Amino acid sequence: MAYYLAKHKLTRFENEYGCRIDLFANAEGVTPEAVWMRLKHFGSPYQRRLNPTTYELKYARTCYEIAEEQGVHPLTIQTYERKHKNAFYEPLWKRTPTQPKQHWREAVQTGKYWHQQSPWLHPLHPEYDRWRSGSMFPEEYVGGSKLSTEQIETLMSNNGWKKYV
């Protein structure tokens, strides 16, 4: 641990972003090489993909965030979007759950049956607040969420989603 306290020459990444690349990569759950590829392709380590998904364009939320907010499986959200063109569709009848605990959440979070999805932009990205408010893509933005960004992030971290903890 003493070698961290010794002065060292700052790397290009440390100069520009204020932290070491290996610590940033560990926090993101990726390798340092993946962070370098983000820099190469997107110009910022805070942008995770080239383009946002359909849900991120229309609702400024990921499919997982909408599923957590609605309390249903992400496949249900995709079905609502496909059939009704609205991920926040409310069916006329609600089925009473047979189990008190939503058992699908652990399988989705571990990636057993479903790939995990991180939001398109990292919260430290300069355009993050603009994207979450819906003003980045006004022609595609539909909205529909009743919760604020902070409430969604708190909900996700309380339910154990790694990217929000």
Encode pLDDT of 4-45 as tens digits.
Answer: 555 678 888 998 988 899 999 998 888 999 999 999 999 999
The answer to whether the pTM exceeds 0.85 is: no
Integer Cα distance of 40 and 77 in angstroms: 34
Integer Cα distance of 147 and 13 in angstroms: 35
Share of the chain above pLDDT 90, in %: 21
Helix (H, G, I), strand (E, B) or coil at 10: coil
Integer Cα distance of 126 and 102 in angstroms: 35
DSSP state at residue 77 = H
Is residue 48 within 8 Å of residue 38, measured between CB atoms?
yes
* Angle, CA 109 vertex, CA 26 and CA 103 arms, to 5°: 155
Q: What are the tokens at 143?
A: 């909205």
Tokens 């499986």 identify what position? 73
Q: What are the tokens at 90?
A: 């409310």
Confidence at residue 115, expressed as pLDDT on a 0 to 100 scale: 64
If you count them, how many residues does the chain have? 165
Residue 96 confidence class, pLDDT cut points 50, 70, 90? low
User: 78 vs 58, 83, 87, 97, CA distance in Å?
Assistant: 13, 9, 7, 20
Integer Cα distance of 48 and 39 in angstroms: 10
Partners of 121 in the beta sheet?
47
Confidence at residue 37, expressed as pLDDT on a 0 to 100 scale: 95
